Structure 1
């Protein structure tokens, strides 16, 4: 193991990457208001809605400005006339006797007493009821009973008459509302002045309803894309068999998703070919190395024999680590089950007891939660703890202690060695990386294997330099 391995605590891949990128220029994309498709579509639709309402408002203004006032006043006065006609009170013989005027109409007619009035007449045009005084005498000639809107001149002024029959009477009676041309013009100008406010309020209400509706609609429409993005984010070299589902994906996005799946197929083939080559090469190297060692041991001892055996053992160790690295990098290699943490720690410490004794280093364990169970691959846990303890033993001073502490949610390893340089922390998990001036044996694969095992289990590993040595804490995901 290398000097960097003395940290013994793994950092999670995302934290490790973040630490490395602190020394690089920032390449993170900037986020603007209209970066998302939803915001762009929403803004475009709101702009279209605003332009549409502006065109409608301009058209209404044009019509009010260029068309005769009586065209619009007729609709207003006609509805008022029918409303009042239904309010006429009759006596026992069915003759009109009074006309209660609603308060809103009464206030308006009082303000324009010189320009508006009403009367109830029979089929001969004789007045039965009338406002006092009537502003003008209404002529009754021709087919006045069947003409709702008529016009006449009197005293140099123009007047309009709205004539509607009174319902529920035995003989024909008619309600006539008389208005001057000036009154009609004033009425339409009042109506015209309320149009912008009405349109403005309508726009605000419509925009609010539109925004809420669009947000709900866009959220539902984009949900399959978000799910595909989340699935894509979970694809790692350890899990290349996952593919994005084409179900519920919009037809416009299906070619992109299909192309992404095709790219994953090619990537998986290349990755598996690489892993297969690595495993085959490691297996093929094991046998020749074993034969070489046997041949050397059978030869008469010479000054170089010890070095040759040392080199052969180092190569054999590297071959085994390559195999472990290959297995740790493939998620399918793991068999998860409930593992007794105390038992796993004792297996590793027993395995390394002879090596620790040869270096005069004591391994102490503290089991804070006896019987603690974790869901893990038993072989992976053994290799992970073994590599960390081997690394600690390699750099622990003689007559020192390596402490292993297992708690409810974590396990930590602490040594009393020289510690790891803070500048080297971002690189200690890289494959084949060794710290400068590192004279310890190893090829730089031990901590890379630990990183792969921890990542496969979803654990978070944190390294902290202490005085002396290094404290390593492995936080379990189930904590």
Structure 2
């Protein structure tokens, strides 16, 4: 749970979305605070602005007769005459000529305007009517060379009613809707933008995760990566270049050392064989043989670790297995072990041809090493079987087996089992694992009760089938 929370808190997408939400919320709070302050504290300013605006609308809607005298308003404004009739104590209008005489007014206008000054000129004014404060605005109108003045006024209590009980709730609701739309729409846009922006990073991460010792030559692509992240990707590519260089140097050194050691070992062996016989001669020859074997296996390990050393083609499995059995038949006879091969649960001479896509030499090396390892651990009088199917191959012996801790170490370089007869270098199974990985196969070791089974599977789906079939053959 802590890891999940930490991952969320360290997520770039989460931080940007959180910053967006906080910014939107703060902006909305600031706007709402300003509007509420204006509506509650400085509502008179809005009231005056509304009065002037309404007066200008009425001035623009004035209708004149043939002599140029105002006679009413257009149809849109005339439809609002009911308001002046119903609210004659709260709102009214009138039109004055240049002398300040009223030529047109709303219903009950004379009583409403009794306390108002007959002033001419644009501006804002106040007066008292029935003990109530009235606010008004004057707008000049010119028509046919004559000048008129339209005055519009409303009571302060009407303004308070409209602003506090109608405008403020409406504005709060509007801010709420606007906030919701802003959060949803812009939040979705921000999420999609982040998703599209970070998609190349996910691809880069997947490419980086897929890099292995066999694909260390690969490089991360910077196409589509945000420019802020490009330096990081380029730095990682430079690190890969240095790692590849070091890996190549190591592999070249290993291969060179193996090649360089083969020649002097061969010369030493020849000198010993041509020398006089003695008690130490056989011991020296055995030591030379052991060293030569180690050098040869080091060379094989270096070759198996390089992907360019493989040449893949369709391989006749029965033919390769037959060669492996024939190659190790003498070793099996010397160890008193019976070596046999079965294809699809049948003997080799009855089986149909099976073909795998593989490097033929590497495939033969895997099979030879697995069978040789089984022969070295099989007691005299027992057998070693090779079971080959369409998707898997198993090599089994009837030896003492191994405990789980030993099974975990079997593919470790230079590790040797306690029941082995020869003095090998402990690299055979490591070479097999390298070759299997290069082919995309899975090599595993399992207890067979008794003995051990090494399973080489081309796919996980067939592993259980192969194991079941081999178990039945063993029983």
TM-score, normalised via structure 2 length:
0.76
Of 434-443 and 42-51, deviating more is 434-443
Report if aligned partners of 1:237, 1:330 keep a CA contact under 8 Å in 2.
Answer: no
Among 408, 412, 418, the residue aligned to 1:430 = 412
Q: Using a 3 Å threshold, how does the CA distance of structure 1 residues 370 and 177 change in structure 2: closer, same or farther?
A: farther
1:154 to 1:453, Cα distance in 2 relative to 1, 3 A: same
Which residue number corresponds to residue 57 of structure 1? 32
Q: CA deviation at 1:143?
A: 3.9
Instruction: Tell me, yes or no, if the aligned pair for 2:325 and 2:339 is still in contact at 8 Å.
Output: no
Unaligned residue ranges in structure 2 (runs of 5+): 65-69, 346-350, 462-475
- The answer as to 2:156 corresponding to 1:181 is yes
Cα 1:48–1:224 shift into 2, 3 Å: same
Partner of 1:215: 191
What is aligned with 2:343?
366
Cα RMSD over matched residues?
4.3
Q: Which has the higher contact order (CA 8 A, sep 6+)?
A: 1
Q: Give distance in 1, aligned partners of 2:226 and 2:342.
A: 57
Partner residue of 2:456?
Answer: 474
What's the CA shift for 1:328? 0.9
Deviations 1:145-194 (A, max 9, x none): x77x764321221224578999xxxx999998653101101222132344
Q: Distance in 1 between matches of 2:238 and 2:155?
A: 80
Q: Which residue of 2 aligns with 1:291?
A: 267
- Of 2, 8, 13, 1:38 maps to 13
Matches within 5 A, 1:144-163: 151-161=126-136
- Kindly name which structure, 1 or 2, has the bigger radius of gyration based on alpha carbons: 2
Unaligned runs of 5+ in 1: 1-27
Q: 1:122 to 1:240 in 2, by over 3 A?
A: same
Aligned to 1:204: 180
Change (3 A) 1:394 1:78: farther
Q: Which residue of 1 aligns with 2:397?
A: 415
Change over 3 Å in CA distance of 1:208–1:470 after alignment to 2: farther
Q: Does 1:338 align with 2:314?
A: yes
Pick closer, same or farther for the CA change 1:118–1:293 going to 2, 3 Å. same
Q: CA separation of 1:430/1:151 partners in 2, compared to 1, >3 Å: closer, same or farther?
A: same
Q: Of the candidates 238, 254, 262, which is equivalent to residue 238 of structure 2?
A: 262
Q: Partner of 2:433 in structure 1?
A: 451
> 1: CA distance between counterparts of 2:392 and 2:48?
85
CA distance in 2, matches of 1:135, 1:432: 115
Give the alignment partner of residue 402 of structure 1, picking from 353, 378, 385: 385
8 Å Cα contact 2:137-2:152 kept in structure 1: yes
* Structure with a larger share of its residues in helix: 2
Question: Matched residues in 2 for 1:370 and 1:31: separation?
Answer: 58
Aligned to 1:24: none
Match runs of 1:216-295 below 5 Å: 216-295=192-271
1:12-91, aligned counterparts within 5 Å? 31-67=6-42, 69-73=43-47
